[in-house]
Amino acid sequence: MRLAVYIIAGGQFLFLCLAWLEITMNPSDAAGQGMAYGFLMVGFLALAIVVVPAILLARSEKWQPLALLLAASPFLVLIWINAI
């Protein structure tokens, strides 16, 4: 279960880093660039709020189910939003 938390967290971090790279490599107008960086900042903030505690909780055998739930929560929220 600990490995699953680490893989999910690493995948989310890699996705946000690739999105940041995509934004910096494809310049657009100032408003579009600012909006893209704003959305990216929200993504990194969500990563810091949810995934960092998940990684810290994954170190304990007792809290690994909660860590997995926290690490997967961004995906669960996206699925819930798309279902509406």
CA–CA dist 30, 28 (Å, integer) = 7
DSSP-assigned letter for residue 1: -
Global pTM reads: 0.81
CA–CA dist 55, 14 (Å, integer) = 15
CA–CA dist 50, 66 (Å, integer) = 11
Residues in CB range of 19: below 8 A, 6 or more apart: 40, 43
30 pLDDT exceeds 90?
no
Split at pLDDT 50, 70, 90, the class of 65 is very high
Split at pLDDT 50, 70, 90, the class of 68 is very high
Split at pLDDT 50, 70, 90, the class of 29 is confident
Residue 76's alpha-carbon distances to 10, 32, 83, in angstroms, are: 17, 28, 11
The arithmetic mean of pLDDT across residues 56-70, rounded, is: 94
